[in-house]
Amino acid sequence: MPTLKTLILLALSTSLLFACQDDDDVVPPDTPIVYSAEKYDVIVEEDIVYAEGLSHDSINSSSATRLPLKLDVYTPDNDIENRPVYLFIHGGGFIGGSKQQSQILTLANYYTSRGWVFVSIDYRLRDHMGSVPQEWVDYAPFIDNSGLGQYFAIYPAQRDAKAALRWLVANADIYHINTDYITVGGGSAGAITAITLGISNPEDFRDEIDISQDPTLATTHLEENYQIQTIIDLWGSGVALDINEAIYGHHRFDSDDPPLFIMHGTEDPTVPFSGAEELKALYDSTGVPIAYYPIEGAGHGVWNATVNGKRLEKLAFDFIVAEQGLIVE
């Protein structure tokens, strides 16, 4: 039997061992596990209505219809009750595009088969003429006429993306999602929307219009809150945040922003590469972690880009895992 002196020495040495551990090395007990290779089959639920939005005959006209807003949910075929989630927003210049674009299906299967819940959303586009605040109408004369339709589409697209994320939080238990591990991402217009989703305050693109003006807001889970942990920007920019700042004076970039992954072609004719450079400069100024991949000589939509032999999916996988502290097996 150990002596009292031995027990005391053992207790002291154990206490010193824990005291010397780096807090950053301690993995929280509820940290989700993901896999470096495909592990699970993928289950898909399509066209789930996450909210409604008004579609007007013209900007803010009294003649409007209620439009169902839909998303697809991809879940791994397992019984794990602690899953991270990745919400993705399609591109298309706020004019077209779909939650089922082939590149998005590739991403959905990549991440879901490795343990994520993946959510792909549709949202109102230019021709839906979604509701916009009067301040946006008043600012319209400062926008070039060639881009006016897209300008008016930015607000409802952002409002819808926030509604989709609140729906996700409201339904987290159904899909066994751990809402402490949320990633948002998108390509092109979807990346613009994802960046704004991650950087803006919860009330932005939500409270500028009230329910008396737009009764469909009542369908958008306004009571829910969320905290985004990582943003994946595929050839996007901060233009929506720039507009929000120009209209309301809100500069939203600060040291509390989620870490940002950027991939962008340096010769992009659609969303200029300067947008990526501006985002990098803003992140460098706040000190928030950023992964920056300028693809030299590439144009728009560099889905097949590789860096040091790693494809986009793997690069973003490594970024999310590192920044969220996920367990990889």
pTM for the whole thing? 0.92
**pLDDT at residue number 209:** 97
Q: What is the mean pLDDT of the chain?
A: 93
Domains delineated in the chain? 30-328 (3.40.50.1820)
Strands 260-265 and 290-295: parallel
Residue 29 pLDDT class (50, 70, 90 cuts): confident
Q: Judge whether 292 and 262 are in contact, CB under 8 Å.
A: yes
Residue 167 has pLDDT above 80, yes or no: yes
**pLDDT at residue number 25:** 60
Per-residue pLDDT of 295-306, as tens digits, reads: 999 999 999 999
Nearest partner of 294 among 313, 259, 267, judged by Cα:
267
Per-residue pLDDT of 263-280, as tens digits, reads: 999 999 999 999 999 999
| Stretch 1-6: mean pLDDT | 45
Q: How far apart are CA 177 and CA 82, in angstroms?
A: 6
**pLDDT at residue number 20:** 37
Which single residue is written with the structure tokens 């219809």?
Answer: 65
| Stretch 30-38: mean pLDDT | 97
Strands 310-311 and 306-307: antiparallel
237 torsion bin: left (phi>0), alpha (psi -120 to 50), beta (else): beta
| Per-residue three-class SS string for 235-249 | CCCCHHHHHHHHHHC
Per-residue pLDDT of 187-231, as tens digits, reads: 999 999 999 999 999 999 999 999 999 999 999 999 999 999 999
| Per-residue three-class SS string for 155-191 | HHHHHHHHHHHHHHHHCHHHHCEEEEEEEEEEECHHH
**pLDDT at residue number 28:** 86
* Number of Cβ atoms within 10 Å of the Cβ of 233: 30
How much of the chain is helix, strand and coil, in % rounded to 5? 40, 25, 40
Q: How far apart are CA 143 and CA 128, in angstroms?
A: 19
| Per-residue three-class SS string for 125-150 | CHHHCCCCCHHHHHHHHHCCHHHHHH
